[in-house]
Amino acid sequence: MEKFIYLEKISLKSLILGNLLWISGLFLLLFFNVTFGPAFVLVWIDLIIGGFVILSNNGIELDLKNNQYRNVFSILGLKIGDWKNFPKMESISVFRSNISTKVGGIGMSSTASARISEKAILINLFPENGKPTTLYFTKDEKVALEISEKLKMKYEVEIINKL
């Protein structure tokens, strides 16, 4: 079988908090909704959804038989993501990088903003005649090298390892 799925691990803290939220939300929805009235139904449903979101994770699914991949968002075992075809590759690069995201400052009167950055390992595909495409980024060096090795064996390209 030439289908591989790599999902980020959920931390113990997220696992406990997510399960605590959805279980308490379900319990409150079923048993305390009569006491507090229907005004709290949306609060209980928000607790359930929040718990499931905390339990979700991201990853990548490789289908080497059909030459496709997809970045997936997995929630309750359901994997969501669009399939893309692999380009004809010359090489694959694996390197460390800082990924930064700007948070806030979107509205006209908003002046507060922050830049959040994190270290990650990127896997880039270099097609024969085009600019590089970022296939996946992860914090786990072992996963990045494993993905790049599988692609190297399938497509017979070189790996540029800058770890």
Long-range contacts of 140-149 (CB under 8 A, 24+ apart): 143/6, 144/94, 145/94, 146/6, 147/4, 147/6, 147/60, 147/62, 147/123, 148/92, 148/94, 148/123
Q: What is the pTM of this model?
A: 0.77
pLDDT digits over 122-147, tens only? 999 998 877 888 999 898 999 999 99
- Model pLDDT, residue 109: 58
Model confidence band, residue 108 (pLDDT cutoffs 50, 70, 90): low
Domain positions in the chain are 1-85, 86-163
- Model pLDDT, residue 6: 92
pLDDT digits over 42-52, tens only? 888 999 999 99
- Model pLDDT, residue 16: 95
Q: Is the confidence at residue 69, as pLDDT, over 90?
A: yes
Write out the E strands in the chain.
3-7, 57-63, 68-75, 78-80, 84-85, 89-104, 113-127, 133-138, 158-162
10-42: b (≥16 Cβ within 10 Å) or e: eeeeeeeebeebbeebeebbeeeeeeeeeeeee
pLDDT digits over 2-49, tens only? 889 999 999 999 999 999 999 999 998 888 766 666 778 888 899 999
